[in-house]
Amino acid sequence: MSTIIAKHFVTFYSPGTFVAETTEKPIDAWDIKQATEMARSVLERYNAAPYGFRFSTRSRGPEDLDSRVTATSPFYWLGGTVETQADVEARATDKERILLSNMRSAGPDAKIITNTNSWRWTSLLGETDVVLDFTPAPATTSTS
């Protein structure tokens, strides 16, 4: 009889300097409500808070030396503003020409999402992405 060991994780994504900062934590199950609450305690460099998360499951069989990712969830956005290509074209400034070019390259149905839970983060919205109703925790200020 072979036993497969599986463990679930949630990876939080926060704005970084050039790419997203990530924090991965174990979780009992792919529980959206629990992951949303866990996100409130994640802070990266410069107090960057998560804009979203994704679940993964790693498994290992009796003959495997190490575990491997065997399942991943859609991406869950912790709130944000969704805009279509037409929305961006209607308000675009010269500063957004690269954004608009990227959207056009992605196709006529391309949408973006902008999240401002901490630092502004704009990305193409994936077809399977889920935008959650989320209110970030109030910003804390330093008194030092």
Q: Above 70 in pLDDT, residue 141?
A: no
**Of the candidate ranges 10-24, 32-46, 90-104, 116-130, the one whose mean pLDDT is the lowest:** 90-104
Instruction: Identify the residue with better confidence: 54 or 17.
Output: 54
pLDDT surpassing 80 at residue 137: no
pLDDT at 1: 52
H helical segments located in 20-96: 32-39, 85-91
Taken as a whole, the chain contains a residue count of 144
Q: What is the mean pLDDT of residues 50-70?
A: 92
C-beta separation of 135 from 39 below 8 A: no
CA distance 117 to 43: 11
With a cut of 50, say whether residue 144 has pLDDT above it.
no
Q: Which two tokens stand for residue 74?
A: 């859609």
Supply the pLDDT for residue 139. Answer: 60
- Which residue type occupies 114? T
**Which residue in 117, 141, 130 sits closest to 20, CA to CA?**
117
Distance CA 120, CA 31 (A): 26
Spatial distance between the Cα atoms of 84 and 143, rounded to a whole number of angstroms: 41
Reduced to 3 states, what is the DSSP secondary structure of residue 89? Answer: helix
pLDDT (tens digit per residue) in 77-121: 999 999 999 999 998 788 989 999 999 999 989 999 999 999 999
Share of the chain above pLDDT 70, in %: 94
* Residues 75/24, Cβ–Cβ less than 8 Å: no
pLDDT at 51: 98
124 vs 41: CA distance, rounded Å: 26
